[in-house]
Structure 1
Amino acid sequence: MTTAAAESAQTTIVPSYVLDGWWTPSSEAAGAAGALAEVRDASTGELLAAVSTEGLDLGAVVRHGRSVGQAGLGALTIHERALKLKELAQFLNGHRNELYELSYKTGATKLDSMVDVDGGIGVLFTFGSKGRRELPNSHVIVEGPMEVLSRDGSFVGEHIYSRIPGVAVQINAFNFPVWGMLEKLAPAFVAGVPTIVKPATPTGYVTEAVVRLMIDSGILPAGSLQLISGSARTLLDELDYRDMVSFTGSASTANLLKSHPNVVHGGVRFTSETDSLNAAILGPDGVPGTPEFDAFVRSVVTEMTVKAGQKCTAIRRTIVPAGIVDDVVAAIGARVAEKVVIGDPRAEGVTMGALASVGQLADVRDAVESLVAAGGRIAWGSLDAPEVVTAGGAKAVVSDGAFMSPVVLAWDDVRAAALHGTEAFGPVSSVVGYSSIEEAIELAALGAGSLVATVCTNDPATAQALTLGIASHHGRVLVLNREDARTSTGHGSPVPHLVHGGPGRAGGGEELGGIRSVKHHMQRTAIQGSPNMLTAVTGVWHKGADRHLADPADPSAHPFRKSLAELRVGDAVRSELRQVALEDITAFANETGDRFYAHTNEEAAAANPFFPGIVAHGYLLVSWAAGLFVSPEPGPVLANYGLENLRFLTPVPAGDSIRVTLTAKQITPRVTDEYGEVCWDAVIENQNDEIVATYDVLTLVAKEWPA
């Protein structure tokens, strides 16, 4: 490969970042017929750059990710990777303004750019936090409880997640060049899988600028991120079962990629997010004058105009009670007229910019014309070139710009195939009427699978009926009413905590969803063996595995006397028996006010099928257990911060005795602090070795402690 710029090119070529270096085609390759694709300013038509990957060895790019990228990320634990995302987010935060300036050239307004840039950075922050709070500081994730597979407990099984051994190829759409990349990269990075980003040509120069900042930060391990600026038609030829592809774009392109032999027969993981005719349903109670009507209209206009309607989550079908169709159309038009100023995003006061390119503008106009030909009518707006505010503040019709007026369509045939099957990917929405809740559900479902829908109502029964009726056809449902109208993130805003994707036409895939999306980049494997072997594989102590019981005669051997530097999984302490007297039970009942009859009334307790008579409070036993296992002097155990999975299994009547066995189950050092978490397996047993209670004790323990 050459790393020299193409000398013969008349414009700047957007470089790729591969094999840990910046790459552009040779002058000979760049000069080949059809090698360069032009990129223009969406508002002015100015030529900005050219794009080409002529001569790029895509096989080498994939091999570099599988080798160097896998090694670099594999050297880090999950927490260390998550921390790097946080550092990266903090770094990019300081460069937002320069990214806004680039984003304006795509036709995006300041608000659009914030959604893209700040939203992408926010995803990094979220996964940087969730990765450290919700996942272990290790290289493997245990899923679910251990399954005992033999009578004596010597053969057990469970499921684990480990990272896939290949690369994550992420093919993104033009509408969100920053968020679209970072929302895919973040979970892959936490999982430990190197990323190859393929942005869309019209806005890929913005993605390149973000990647350049990320590389210049020095935060990323070698090989963990590569960028292909331009065509990558043969990239799937280089992939196999070790790799995955995450695609955002048109359904036709997704279907083409899904039919590739390496996907169909070679086991390449493929997830897609594609065309989506999303719906917003206004409930029967949402009549004009109600907060729900106003919130609904605001939402529809927002989704029509943010990013000039170029959002996979935009509201394409506005489904309202049949009697107020004209009211809704009029309200949408009035709000657009009042709030929307179309023009160059660099001009003061502009609230809606251009579409991404004149080609995209032509596609949207063609789609609207096909909808009109199929029975729709333009109820508000026009396909004529609008007068817009130019960068200098003047108003004019800009022939080289990709500007379009918002358009509202109305339909007599609310079941027309085109209405529910043709997407105009711009500032366009159709308003259709329904006569019953059942018909509203039916109309929403005619979209054949969507990313998101809004249900707007203040009636709980309507909210339940509509939401449950459409949920299986959608990846996400926003229930909008007067209570959350101001705080809602909105119909069209995927959040990193919740899944983004949808069935059917929407692609059938899932992205985001918090830790779920990290696991999308991992292999779930059932492992079977002895408790000792599963403990060795996972780093988590399993019931039946060896314990290292402290010598009661040696106080220094108590696990609570060990710092994280000394403590090992399986270190344990077993207490002496303590007898439970009736007086103890009565005193606890009087002190706490918990005088439930099982602890205070012999006759009533004996009549209960679960109790032999008066029994000790479960919380009394847990309190006593702490007294039995705690080492009271100051030491490396700094704090107890909770219990998990508490279960009471065998009642303890007066006269019985209890003991507790505490075992270090999981040790999680914190990367940024001088302490970490230790999860202890706690088992309370009676004098007959019957299990009384089980739970996990959570403590904070110092990494080092003076001898």
Structure 2
Amino acid sequence: MSSMVDKPAEPDSRPGTVGGVVGAPVVARADSLAERAVRGPGAESVTMTAPFTGLRTAVLPQASDRLARAAFARARRAQCSWAATSVAQRQRILLRLHELVLSRQKEGLDLVQVEAGKARLDAFDEISATALVADYYGRHSARLLAPRRAPGALPLLTRATHLRQPRGVVGIISPWNYPLALTAMDVLPALAAGNTVVQKPDNQTALSALWLHELAGEAGLPRDAWQIVLGRGSVIGDAIVEESDYVCFTGSTPTGKRLASAIAGRLTGYSLELGGKNPMIVLPDADVAKAAAGAVTACFSSAGQLCVSVERIYVHDSIRDRFLAEFANRTNALTMGSALDYRAGMGSLTTPEQLRAVSDHVADARSHGATVVAGGNARPDIGPLFFEPTILTDVPEEAAVFANETFGPVTSVYGYSDVEEAIEKANATAFGLNASVWSRDTRRAREIATRLKAGTVNVNEGYAATFGTVGVPMGGMKDSGVGRRNGAEGLLKYTESQSIAIQRGLRLRPPRTVHPAMWTAALTAGLRLLRRLPGR
């Protein structure tokens, strides 16, 4: 395969941009990584391009419905032996994977940057999240999956145990925006629970998932325990829904609702992480400089293509002007570029569709009278899919950006006079994925956080505090989804709950020689006694 451009780009003379090398060793690795995807004779292929340059990165095989179903058949055959592998052995594989991700991170960083167009620091967020997930489930799976004893119906005579059994084969549909981290967050706990996995990552960023798949194999994971199929949802989507014992999907709310409807007919489980229109509330006592700096990260990391990024900011009227000035200054100072190093503060959008969506939202907001305080323009001089980090004010309800998710580097700032008003506005959305509260009084901020209808809420942070704490669950309320990833819930959702009780001696029905009235009177006395026993 031909290499991408290896010559450094000429640096842009305007403020806020950096040039850089847009070629990468990963392109030479694309063929070997693509070989890891399920393929068959005569299968179609697609050619993917890099957001930084528009040049070719990989040729990827596309699975047919038949190939996808064959992958599920192999996964089902492999599942019995994988489930019989001790949890301790599964944990050791995850801990070896943790070390491989960290030691080989340069290649992973290059991959994520070239495929997704991220700045390198944002790409490192994916490396660190992947390592954290592998470490968490590598250390805690045995404890979380361990059988639990429960008090029996009759003390000493009834022994009850609660077990967690793997569901079987898990189908995972992964998005393009966080290709490495979300693969890890969904695939690794499914494997840790004893399931096998068939994953469909998005073609645009499939190499990142294939890279982690390769490292998992080096760590000791049997190849058929985790298979990657590539293709259009219209071609292999039915196979994933019909062959999976559980489906995990991350993507848009309309697609998630259609998928849930299709899965419901099979009475199998699913989890969905969907859209968001995430709010940030800045209280009047907040440190303005810290809140503005936090907003830059919360709004523009990964060019705003993060499900938990902030798109609405509510600032108390008493500090709104100061906050807006500080926020605009920091945003204007944010550098954009395609360098495979840490010079750029923000990278590119990932797809032409996202560039159109962002451009349309900003143009529509302008046409409805919104004010562009910072940014507002595409930057083809840097690369084909760059768009400036953008701050809007005076956005009316009629503008599309007011209530609809942009999924790009655009945020709107609003004032408020009373905290009850801010809470009401923050909750006035169909979504409920993430939120942020800023204040010097963390007790007060936490109380406000409990009143926000969002699955995760960060105090004096935008999203990273909850995103990086993999021991607590993450997911959405309302139209932002169903179910959780991370923490105990992120593992146990991939299991079936099973209860086994062994009865000894006395039966739970009266013997023929005892009248039922005497039996129930004795049991009534016993139930009253049980209430006084400790540990029940």
Are 1:103 and 2:103 an aligned pair? no
Matching residue's letter, 2:227:
Q
* Residue identity matched to 1:159: H
Give the match for residue 476 of structure 2.
502
- C-alpha separation between the residues in 2 aligned to 1:23 and 1:464? 47
Report the alpha carbon displacement of residue 103 of structure 1 after superposing the two structures with TM: 2.1
TM-score (normalised: structure 1): 0.63
- Tell me if structure 1 keeps the 8 A contact 2:248–2:271: yes
8 Å Cα contact 2:119-2:344 kept in structure 1: yes
Give, in angstroms, the shift of residue 178 of structure 1: 1.0
Question: Which residue of 2 is the match for residue 401 of structure 1?
Answer: 384
Counterpart position of 1:360 = 354
Who is 1:163 aligned against? Answer: 166
User: In the alignment, which residue of structure 2 is the partner of 1:120?
Assistant: 130
Tell me the equivalent position of 1:440. Answer: 422
Structure with more of its chain in helix, by fraction: 2
* 1:589-608 equivalence runs, <5 A: none
Aligned length: 480
Superposition deviation, residue 299 in structure 1: 1.2
Query: Is 1:62 paired with 2:72?
Result: yes
Q: Show the counterpart of 1:527.
A: 500
2:99 maps to 1:90: yes
Residue from 38, 46, 50 that aligns with 2:59: 50
Higher relative contact order (CA 8 A, sep 6+): 2
What residue is the counterpart of 2:321 in the other structure? 326
Pairing of 1:355-394 with structure 2 (within 5 A): 355-373=349-367, 376-385=370-379
SS in 2 for 1:405: coil
SS at match of 1:401: coil
Deviation at 1:525, TM superposition (A): 2.7
Cα deviation digits, residues 461-493 of structure 1 (max 9, x gap)? 6324412321xx11111122xxxx7xx983673
* 1:220 and 2:221 aligned: yes
| Code of the aligned partner of 1:146 | P
Residue identity in the other structure for 1:346 = L
Residue among 443, 458, 464 paired with 1:490 = 464
Closer, same or farther: CA 345–357 of 1 in aligned 2, 3 Å: farther
Q: Tell me the secondary structure at the aligned position of residue 511 of structure 1.
A: coil
Q: Which amino acid aligns with 2:266?
A: G
For structure 2, the 5+ residue unaligned runs are 1-28, 506-531
Contact 1:191–1:522, Cα closer than 8 Å, also in 2:
yes
State the shift of 1:218 in Å.
5.5
Give 2:332's aligned amino acid. A
**What is the one-letter code of the residue matched to 1:320?**
V
Task: Report the Cα distance in structure 2 between the residues aligned to 1:505 and 1:95, rounded to whole angstroms.
Answer: 38
8 Å Cα contact 2:273-2:480 kept in structure 1: yes
Larger-gyration structure (1/2): 1
* Paired residues for 1:299-314 under 5 Å: 299-314=294-309
Evaluate the alpha carbon distance shift between residue 259 and residue 130 of structure 1 in structure 2; reply closer, same or farther with a 3 A threshold. Answer: same
Work out the CA distance in 2 between the residues paired with 1:347 and 1:97.
10
Query: In the alignment, is residue 316 of structure 1 matched against residue 296 of structure 2?
Result: no
The Cα RMSD (Å) is 3.0
2:285 is matched with which residue? 285
One-letter code of the match for 2:456? Answer: R
In structure 2, relative to structure 1, the CA distance for the partners of 1:382 and 1:222 (3 Å cut) is closer
Decide whether aligned partners of structure 1 residues 479 and 15 sit closer, same or farther in structure 2, where only a CA change above 3 A counts: closer
Which secondary structure state, in structure 2, belongs to the residue aligned with residue 129 of structure 1?
helix
1:333-348 alignment runs, 5 A limit: 333-338=328-333, 340-346=334-340
- List per-residue Cα deviations over 1:140-185 (Å, max 9, x = no partner): 532x73242x4x7534545332211x21111111111111111111
Structure 1 position 443, deviation (Å): 0.8
2:438 alignment partner in structure 1: 456
Contact 2:246 2:270 in 1 (8 A): yes
Structure-2 separation of matches of 1:461 and 1:365: 40
Q: Can you give the 5+ residue segments of structure 1 that lack an aligned partner in the other structure?
A: 1-10, 31-35, 287-291, 387-396, 533-691, 696-707
Alpha carbons 1:107, 1:355 under 8 Å: kept: yes
Deviation at 1:86, TM superposition (A): 0.4
Which residue of structure 1 aligns with residue 409 of structure 2? 427
Assess if the C-alpha contact under 8 Å between 1:96 and 1:118 holds in 2: no
Q: C-alpha displacement at 1:95, in angstroms?
A: 1.5
Q: Which amino acid aligns with 1:280?
A: M
Using a 3 Å threshold, how does the CA distance of structure 1 residues 694 and 221 change in structure 2: closer, same or farther? farther
SS of equivalent residue, structure 2 residue 391: strand
User: What are the Cα deviations for residues 361-393 of structure 1, in whole angstroms up to 9, with x where unaligned?
Assistant: 12221233334445533222122426xxxxxxx
Distance 1:385 1:335 in 2: 19
What aligned pairs does 1:594-673 form with structure 2 within 5 A after superposition? none
Local SS of the residue matching 2:188: helix
